Amino acid sequence: MAENLMEIDDSNFAPQVLQADKPVLVDFWAPWCGPCKAIGTMIEKLADGYSDQILFTKCNADDSQQTAAKYGSKSIPTLLFFKDGSVFDKISGMTNQAKIEEVLKILTGEQGAAPFIVQ
């Protein structure tokens, strides 16, 4: 796993994500998922540029079914963006790097108004 990515699971999700002192991107994935591998490569590249502002994490949805279910990750890949312990935005399914980066810029305050906030 890349240096700027942290592996999380059911046991450490709350302290690592909900109690983080900066925004967090959670990549729900599985090793058998082709689109997950493609998005994983994008996440690694983005982590290199944003790791000082955002914590990048990966959560294996097969191994952490409780957390995946709690946050409505019904399909993978699913990216959840957390700010101050709450879900800020969500991307499900295959997407492009520009869309992920757009959310990261909004999350860090680099660009425009916030998207719809998921409660």
Could you list the active site residues? 33, 36
Please list, in sequence order, all residues whose beta carbon lies within 8 angstroms of the beta carbon of residue 96, skipping any fewer than 6 positions away: 42
